[in-house]
Amino acid sequence: MLSIKQLRVLCQATAPNPARESLVGKFSRMFSIYFTRLFIPTNITPNQITVMSVLVFFAGIAAVMVGNLVWGLIGCLLIFFSIILDGCDGEIARYKKNGSVAGTLFVEPVSHDVQYGLMFPLLGLGSYLQSTSVEAWTFIVLGFIAGIAKLLFRLLEVRMWNLTSYMNQISDEKIEEIKRDYTEKAPHIRLVYWINKNIFSSTGVFVVLLVAVLFSQVELYIYLYALGYTGLWLLLFGKQMYKVSKKKY
């Protein structure tokens, strides 16, 4: 068995794109390697860990839906644990070299689609059930808007990536060049990336949810992401349509 330091070098050497990696994602890797070490002697596969992550995630969402501080904090802990497990599947795949194309390009992305497509409608439902307001039904509507906008945003990213990959035949070297170019972008562009990855990314939504639970403002959390994801989708759509028109794909 390798030491934790050796495992980090072996399993965490391939860091995500810095334009997309949130602070929560980095923080979770401090813990994920310890769980990875526990998984190594077992026959548990990366895809099975992904399924475990999804189940823990929705257990956390269910706890937040209860509507009180204690259960809300328990829910946030479960959601953070699901983020840790989400890191373990890739680490196990790198260690055992048993990762698959289906796992990387289908199972894990689909698990995120399910998680972040359904979490906002469920939180909206929880807020509706806990509220005595006549207009509480708006929480459900906003929850669905946030979930749909999040999925549309992810879909738009995938479509553009597929288009540019097809046209440019992006190699691993090109991907590394894209990562390096990120550090040379203008400060205001990097600020937008920072906001996206630390507030609106799959891991970024965790910190905002924790703050919302602490201050009993889950309803405002739903409003934020309904408006935020819709705005981000519109901005990304406009940006990509401009690129497509200029390059005449």
pLDDT classification of 31: cutoffs 50, 70, 90 = very high
Tell which CATH architecture fits domain 4-8+22-247. Up-down Bundle (1.20)
pLDDT of residue 193: 83
Higher pLDDT, 58 or 108: 58
100 pLDDT exceeds 90? no
> According to DSSP H, which parts of 131-186 are helical?
137-168, 172-182
Whether the CA torsion 164, 168, 172, 173 is positive or negative: it is negative
- Cα separation, 82 vs 89, in Å, equals 11
- 183-216 burial code (b ≥16 CB/10 A, e <16): eeeeeeeeeeeeebbbbbbbbbbbbbbbebbeee
pLDDT given for residue 246 in this prediction: 73
pLDDT of residue 14: 66
Structure confidence by residue, pLDDT tens digits, 204-245: 899 999 999 999 999 999 999 999 999 988 888 888 788 777
User: Are the CB atoms for 11 and 36 separated by under 8 Å?
Assistant: yes
Confidence at residue 239, expressed as pLDDT on a 0 to 100 scale: 82
Choice between 116 and 14, residue whose per-residue pLDDT is larger: 116
pLDDT at 156: 82
pLDDT band, residue 107 (cuts 50/70/90): confident
Q: Is the pLDDT of residue 248 over 80?
A: no
142-200 per-position pLDDT tens digit: 999 999 998 888 888 777 766 666 555 556 666 667 667 777 778 888 888 888 889 98
How far is it, in rounded angstroms, from Cα 151 to Cα 116? 8
Flag whether pLDDT at 15 surpasses 60: no
Q: Is 128 helix (H, G, I), strand (E, B) or coil?
A: helix
Contact 87, 16 (CB under 8 A): no
The pLDDT value recorded for residue 162 is 67
pTM passes above 0.85: no
Q: Are 208 and 224 in contact (CB under 8 A)?
A: yes
Each domain of the chain, given as residue ranges in start order, spans 4-8+22-247
Closest CA to 226 of 91, 134, 123, 136: 123
In terms of Cα–Cα distance, which of 192, 179, 166, 152 is closest to 247? Answer: 166
Rounded average pLDDT over 78-86? 95
